[in-house]
Structure 1
């Protein structure tokens, strides 16, 4: 297997404006009372991404193609393909709107032409980068900007000298009530990103060559765990800084003042730095989301997954187009981003259930099929998310 760098791409997809915004809102509104949901999400992500890695390396195919192998009748395969296209298409379009909205908020802080207008510009830029196929260097620069922003969050946390006793108290007194269901689902949706399962499986499958499968899986697992753990740590730090700046304070967090949580270190520059970070995180994720969607849909429809093939380009262009339309429609920025994350939380159980099925039924996996422990962890993850999602849907339709 050729040198695999998929873990870094997953990290780029993982740290988006949705993560930063959702974590900021959770910290501002609930302090550390919802960090339990984030810790659960990090563990769950590691469990599910591990399955995607084993599947892609062992079979040499993406998740869509493997999911279709669950059924043998042609009409069922077409139905399954339609479900994959609908689930990933809807989820990624919602996620793309959040990515573009977050990046647009950042740019609008520098030049106020409206979040919707910036979303159109950014959607066009993402489309140009994907069309060219030469976006790796730009993506790498943006990823470094995101991690630089994370370093400033960490420095802010240290300089602010948080009340660790109070944070620990809030962490050990978790909240799970009607008011917290949506932000909990948003935290889950921004951490356990459904499209990352398709993206990771497809990326490791592309690098798959006959050889030492066990060694290749071990390397991919290591990268995946590192990227997810780092993303989770960064998210916890963002929750902490937002909690100190806004929780139980007279000021209320909104799109115009989120950067104030960095003021203890950056002072008057805080809002500008936060804006630059949102732009970097948003554009990076605005590239990876349609890329993952194209892999998933093309795999489901037996179309080539080459970056320059017409079907592949049509899919990612559609996702960007819908994302731009939603982002430019005039929704409140933070509401739009939270909606995107909560939508991912609702769609996740569907994808995770089918992933569990294929990890147990696919004979190609051999010794890398799910064992009892993986099945237990996966079932617990899916069961809990299903419970939350079902309750949220009941809330929506009972009001």
Structure 2
């Protein structure tokens, strides 16, 4: 048992990354607007996430390279390689900078529910000091922490999120019969956009890069793949439980009050279950913001490292410079209450293009025996992977259309 627990870790980075303020908000709105009827979509997104992340993790362990390094090595033509790397760098770095602002803002929402108003207004200038608090926490963990410290810190925060949101869901006392019906697929047209949103917040392109890069920090032998799979499955399922708990909570609470966001959900808990309930949910939101604020810059740094062929570690100046840029941009946009609409639109377009492209290349590489040897995809893995590819192509087109 001790040996098994010692092999848990990298998968929690994936969970920490996709359970951010965006996921919390989407799940809150899904529950408030559609009740339990979209729980099946979460199950679908969890399965898709597990399949793709397992491939990325297997690639990282077997090759001892990151996803960007492996993909780059498959292109002999310099022009194609340049274009491919340009798309990846643009989507990951600029996109993560935009989403980092959302991660930090989400963390400040959790603190503001507890501490109250956090904006400092001087004439026409408004400044949110809590953004600096969240940003400083993320900076200290990234700057002074080695991989083991980051991993253990994120494990604690993910467990904290799990407890906070699960306790909140239990306190709402959901109708079990209606809850079970929510896991039966329902393809009504008015649910389509929310289904896409739930899947899009779970299956994230930069997580594939992050997972492939970090597993080799812990494992270096294909014989350890059973541990890799257990870590991946447990971590992502844990993230799914968090998302399900948020939908349950918002479904029940929305029957008594209007909910337009997670802050409304937190405040609505107080008159029904006491002040402590509000604080439990706020702590969960704070943890979601901090974990995503750490993993988004970290993922960007790993991607650039692989694309540029840098043989460096977490403490190297170039590695630190990348995540610092992403983190600082996030703090600036968040603290000044600037809504980076254009940047977010670009991020949506870039990620809408990137996810189908990366999924396609991942499936292609996972079938190359000269890369993976006997650890290539099985028939069922390819079948499920191809269905997921069709799904993310549709998701990407929808995301680009919405952004434009």
The two structures share one fold, judged by TM-score above 0.5: yes
1:184 partnered with 2:195:
yes
Q: Please, which of 142, 147, 151 is the counterpart of residue 159 of structure 2?
A: 147
Q: Is the 8 A contact 2:162 2:241 kept in 1?
A: no
Q: Which structure 2 residues correspond to residues 266-281 of structure 1 after superposition, within 5 A? A: 266-281=273-288
Q: How far has the Cα of 1:264 moved from its partner?
A: 8.3
1:215-261 CA-partner distances (Å, limit 9, x unpaired): 21111011111111111122112111111111x55523335322146
In the alignment, which residue of structure 1 is the partner of 2:34?
Answer: 30
The 5-angstrom pairing of residues 294-333 of structure 1 reads 294-328=301-335, 330=337
TM-score, normalisation: structure 1:
0.86
CA–CA separation in structure 2 for the residues paired with 1:148 and 1:338? 32
1:239 aligns with 2:247: yes
Paired position in structure 2 for 1:373: 380
Residue 56 in structure 1 maps to residue 68 in structure 2: no
Deviation, structure 1 residue 366: 0.7
Structure 1 pair 267/312, CA: closer, same or farther in 2 (3 Å)?
same
Q: What is the rounded CA distance, in whole Å, between the counterparts of 1:332 and 1:192 in structure 2?
A: 24
Once residues 33 and 332 of structure 2 are traced to their aligned partners in structure 1, the CA distance between those partners, rounded to angstroms, is: 29
Provide the rounded CA distance (Å) in 2 between the counterparts of 1:332 and 1:257: 21
Aligned-partner Cα distance in 1 for 2:348–2:386: 22
1:188 CA displacement: 1.6
CA distance in 1, matches of 2:110, 2:345: 16
The answer for unaligned runs of 5 or more in structure 1 is none
Distance 1:254 1:25 in 2: 7
Instruction: Determine the structure 1 residue equivalent to 2:225.
Output: 217
Deviations 1:50-70 (Å, cap 9, x if unpaired)?
101110011010001011122
Aligned to 1:230: 238
**Aligned twin of 2:295:** 288
1:91 aligns to what?
Answer: 95
Task: Give distance in 2, aligned partners of 1:261 and 1:43.
Answer: 32
Q: How many residues align structurally?
A: 389
Task: Find the aligned partners of 2:195 and 2:332 in 1 and give their Cα distance.
Answer: 26
Q: Supply the distance in 2 between the matched residues of 1:269 and 1:342 (Cα, whole angstroms).
A: 41
Task: Identify if the C-alpha distance between structure 1 residues 34 and 154 changes in structure 2 by more than 3 Å, giving closer, same or farther.
Answer: same
Relative to 1, partners in 2 of residues 1:196 and 1:132: Cα closer, same or farther, differing over 3 Å? same
The alignment's C-alpha RMSD in Å is 3.1
Q: Which runs of 4+ in 1 moved over 6 A?
A: 336-343
1:62 and 1:362, CA in 2 relative to 1: closer, same or farther beyond 3 A? farther
Superposition deviation, residue 34 in structure 1: 2.0
- In 2 relative to 1, CA 72–340 (structure 1 residues): closer, same or farther, beyond 3 Å? closer
CA contact (8 A) 1:157 1:240 kept: yes
SS across alignment from 1:366 = helix
Deviations 1:133-186 (A, max 9, x none): 3585577456435434433433443343322233344443625536741x3333
The CA deviation at 1:340 is 8.1
SS of the residue corresponding to residue 367 of structure 2 reads helix
Secondary structure of the residue aligned to 1:206 is coil
